Amino acid sequence: MKVIINENDVKGILLKLWEKNPYLDPVQMKMFGLSYNNISLMEEFQKFLGEEEIENRLYDIIKIGKDFEINDCGNYEFTFQITDWSVKGSEIRIECLVDSENGTMSFIHDENGEERSLDDVLHNDDYGWEIRIEVEDCIGDWIHDNIKLSYYTGLLMLIELKYK
């Protein structure tokens, strides 16, 4: 026998699950064919939590000024700090300071696997723009995997980088 669950059924089930454990559990979402990129799901979770609870959670989970290390993202190794954050609507803007002076990047296409200063490759006129995008992706992935911001708040992340 096949059971068909409509969107309202899923919403009702999720609300009951959130009452017990207010968290966007990726396993539960997958069971319903949903992802954390589902905007209506994220907005529904934000409504469920309310602005005050979201802000309280953010203060608990975002550690301003703490050094975080990236060493398993492609060929990049560097540290960064979250320096500030703000919420506007259903998005959180997270400002990060990347220690590009002490960070490194290894070229995989180079026979010698040359390691270069992250600061040098970021300022390269030919491909620096691509390196900046990859560094931003590394940080966004790290925040998603380690802080699990979207799962706890339902907010979509925007990352803004500064380099020292």
Q: Do 74 and 155 reside in the same domain of the chain?
A: yes
Domain that holds residue 36: 7-56
| Predicted local distance difference test score (pLDDT) of residue 4 | 65
Q: Do 130 and 68 reside in the same domain of the chain?
A: yes
1 occurs within a structural domain: no
pLDDT grade for 119, boundaries at 50, 70 and 90: very high
2 occurs within a structural domain: no
Q: What is the pLDDT of residues 92-117, one digit of tens each?
A: 999 999 999 999 988 766 556 678 89
- Provide the number of structural domains found in the chain: 2
80 occurs within a structural domain: yes
Q: Do 110 and 159 reside in the same domain of the chain?
A: yes
| Predicted local distance difference test score (pLDDT) of residue 35 | 73
| Predicted local distance difference test score (pLDDT) of residue 40 | 82
pTM of the model: 0.84
| Predicted local distance difference test score (pLDDT) of residue 114 | 79
Q: Do 28 and 70 reside in the same domain of the chain?
A: no
What number is the average pLDDT over the span 72-77?
Answer: 88
Q: Do 69 and 124 reside in the same domain of the chain?
A: yes
Q: Do 116 and 154 reside in the same domain of the chain?
A: yes
List the Cα angle 66/63/95 in 5-degree steps.
Answer: 85
Q: Do 74 and 46 reside in the same domain of the chain?
A: no
